[in-house]
Chains A and B, each alone.
Chain A
Amino acid sequence: MSKKLRVATTSLAGCFGCHMSFLDIDERLLALLDLVEFDRSPINDIKHCGPCDIGIIEGGVCNAENVHVLHEFRRSCKILIAIGACAINGGLPAQRNHLDLSSCLTEVYLTEPGLAHGHIPNDPELPLPLDKVHPLHEVVKIDYFIPGCPPSGDAIWKFLTDLIAGKTPELGHGLIKYD
Chain B
Amino acid sequence: MLPDNDMRFNASGQVWLDKLVVQHASDASRLLQILLQVQERFGYIPHQAISRLAEKLTIPLARIESVASFYSFLHLQPHGEYRVLFSDNITDRMLGSQALMDQMCQLLWLQPGRVSEDGLVSIGPTSCTGMCDQGPALLVNGRAITCLTHQRVQEIAQLIRNRTPLADWPADFFRVEDNIRRGGLLLDNKLSPGAVLHAAVALGGDAIVEQVKASGLRGRGGAGFPTGMKWEACRKAAGKERYVVCNADEGEPGTFKDRVLLTQQADLVFEGMTLCALAVGARKGFLYLRGEYRYLLEPLQAVLQRRRKDNLLGNKILGKSGFDFDIDIHLGSGAYICGEESALIESLEGKRGVPRSRPPFPVTHGYMQQPTAVDNVETFCQAALALHMGADKYRAVGTEKSSGSKLISVSGDCPRPGIYEYPFGVSVREVLQDCGAVNTRAVQISGPSGVCVPESEFGRKLGFEDLPTAGAFMVFDDSRDMFEVARNYVHFFAHESCGFCTPCRVGTSMLKQTMDKIADGHGTQYDLKEIENLDRVLQTSSHCGLGRTACNPVLHTLKHFRPAYENRLKSLMFSPAFDLDGSLARARQMTGRDDAGAHLKEME
Residues of A within 8 A of B (CB): 64, 67-68, 71, 74-75, 100-102, 105-106, 120-122, 124-125, 127-132, 134, 138-141
Contact = CB atoms under 8 A, between A and B. Distances in A.
B586 A131 contact: yes
Interface stretch (B241-249, B485-493, B593-601): B593-601
Given A71-B603, A138-B576, A140-B603, A120 B597 contact: no
A140 B574 contact: yes
A131 B587 contact: yes
Given A71-B603, A106-B590, A124-B598, 6 more contacts: A64-B599, A105-B590, A128-B588, A129-B587, A139-B580, A141-B573
How many interface residues does chain B have, given as a range?
20 to 34
A129 B584 CA distance: 7
Given A64-B597, A139-B576, A140-B574, A121 B591 contact: yes
Contact of B584 (A71, A130, A140): A130
A141 B598 CA distance: 24
B360 interface: no
A111 to B, nearest CB: 13
Interface in B561-600: 573-574, 576-578, 580, 583-593, 595, 597-600
A68 B603 CA distance: 9
Contact of A124 (B580, B584, B595, B600): B595
Contacts of B587: 101, 105, 128-131
Contacts of A129: 584, 587
Interface residue SS majority, chain A: mixed
- Residue among B526, B577, B587, B592 with most chain A CB within 10 A: B587
A46 to B, nearest CB: 21
B480 to A, nearest CB: 32
A106 B590 CA distance: 8
Nearest to B589: A102
Contacts of A105: 587, 590
7 contacts: A71-B603, A102-B590, A131-B584, A132-B578, A132-B583, A138-B576, A140-B576
Contact of A122 (B577, B591, B600, B603): B591
- Residue among B574, B584, B585, B598 with most chain A CB within 10 A: B584
Contact of A131 (B573, B583, B597): B583
Contacts of A102: 586, 589-590
A155 B603 CA distance: 32
B598 A64 contact: yes
A120 B595 contact: no
A101 to B, nearest CB: 5
Given A67-B600, A74-B603, A141-B526, A130 B583 contact: yes
B603 A128 contact: no
Ordered nearest first, which 8 A-B pairs have the shortest CB separation?
A141-B574, A122-B591, A128-B587, A130-B583, A101-B586, A131-B586, A124-B595, A71-B603
B577 A138 contact: yes
A64 B590 contact: no
Contacts of B600: 64, 67-68
A81 to B, nearest CB: 15
Nearest to A122: B591
Contacts of A128: 584, 587-588, 591, 593, 597-598
A137 B88 CA distance: 33
A67 B591 contact: no
Interface string B325-369: 000000000000000000000000000000000000000000000
B589 A64 contact: no
Contacts of B597: 64, 124-125, 127-128
Nearest to A75: B603
Contacts of B599: 64
A64 B603 contact: no
B580 A67 contact: yes
A42 B588 CA distance: 30
Contacts of B593: 122, 124, 128
A124 B596 CA distance: 9
Nearest to A105: B590
- Residue among B580, B584, B590, B595 with most chain A CB within 10 A: B590
B533 to A, nearest CB: 14
B47 to A, nearest CB: 25
Contacts of A125: 597
A125 B597 CA distance: 8
B584 A120 contact: no
A125 B591 CA distance: 13
Nearest to A137: B574
Contacts of B585: 131
A99 B599 CA distance: 22
- Residue among B586, B593, B595, B598 with most chain A CB within 10 A: B586
Nearest to A65: B597
Nearest to B524: A141
B521 to A, nearest CB: 16
Contacts of B584: 64, 128-131
A120 B586 CA distance: 12
Nearest to A67: B600
Interface string B141-180: 0000000000000000000000000000000000000000
Nearest to A110: B590
- Residue among B576, B577, B585 with most chain A CB within 10 A: B576
A101 B580 contact: no
A131 B592 CA distance: 15
Contacts of A140: 574, 576, 603
A120 B591 contact: yes
A68 B583 CA distance: 14
A62 B534 CA distance: 28
A102 B592 CA distance: 12
